[in-house]
């Protein structure tokens, strides 16, 4: 039986890497699939992972119909056994409904990958609909860590290293790397545990507080 499966985790938890690995494994097993993505950090019509993998994919627009696309491919002689849908949190809810219909009526598996919540801890509309409709939801086992060492559960948007909670829901940027200076990165993302997301305490803020605690009275 075909399934709609939603693979989810925080940023930097390996979602795109798993999406490309699954596509590779299914193709190696003789199945034929189609890759989709939306607003990948590297640009349009491509799925990239932070491990350096890069594969071309069809770019999803708000007006695109998954049903029409699969029907078009099949009627033109292309086999479609499964769909790999990366960055699915950015899809509009009606497209998630179409993916469920593709599974139920066309018998194609759909493997959707995305994050659940935005930088304000609110569900993305596409992710919410996937939670409502998916046959299975799988939390990725590759855990990301907060700067404090706890498991990261929330995605924080930062400006100059400081967490912000206002702005557009969708703003494509990458997570801050260990090599980058947070103060030099105007807009970025950082994964935090719930406590430090509530406190808005990013790695940059924590470093400043630690330095202040270490000051001796005559150093001030």
As annotated, the active-site residues are 87
Backbone angles phi and psi of 4, in degrees to 5: -105, 110
DSSP code of 114?
E
Residue 108 CA to residue 83 CA, distance in Å, equals: 7
Pairing state between β 162-164 and 54-56: unpaired
> Residues in the chain, how many?
220
- Residue 203, CA atoms < 13 Å, CB-side half-sphere: 21
Residue 104: alpha-carbon gap to chain centroid? 25
């Amino acid at each position: 039986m075909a399934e709609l499966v939603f693979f989810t985790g925080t940023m930097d938890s390996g979602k795109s890497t798993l999406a490309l690995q699954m596509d590779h494994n299914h193709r190696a097993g003789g199945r034929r699939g189609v890759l989709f993505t939306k607003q990948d950090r590297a640009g349009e019509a491509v799925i990239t992972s932070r491990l350096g993998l890069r594969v071309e994919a069809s770019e999803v627009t708000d007006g695109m119909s998954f049903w029409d696309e699969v029907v078009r491919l099949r009627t033109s002689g292309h086999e479609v056994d499964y769909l790999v849908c990366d960055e699915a949190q950015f899809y509009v809810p009606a497209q998630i409904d179409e993916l469920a219909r593709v599974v139920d009526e066309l018998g194609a598996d759909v493997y959707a990958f995305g994050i659940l919540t935005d930088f304000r801890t609110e569900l993305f509309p596409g992710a919410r609909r996937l939670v409502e409709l998916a046959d299975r939801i799988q939390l990725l086992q590759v855990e990301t860590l907060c700067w404090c060492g706890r498991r990261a559960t929330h995605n924080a948007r930062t400006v100059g290293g400081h967490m912000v909670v206002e702005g557009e829901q969708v703003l494509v940027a990458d997570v801050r790397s260990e090599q980058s200076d947070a103060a030099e990165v105007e807009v970025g993302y950082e994964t935090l545990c719930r406590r430090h997301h509530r406190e808005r305490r990013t790695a940059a803020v924590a470093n400043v507080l630690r330095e202040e605690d270490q000051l001796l009275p005559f150093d001030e």
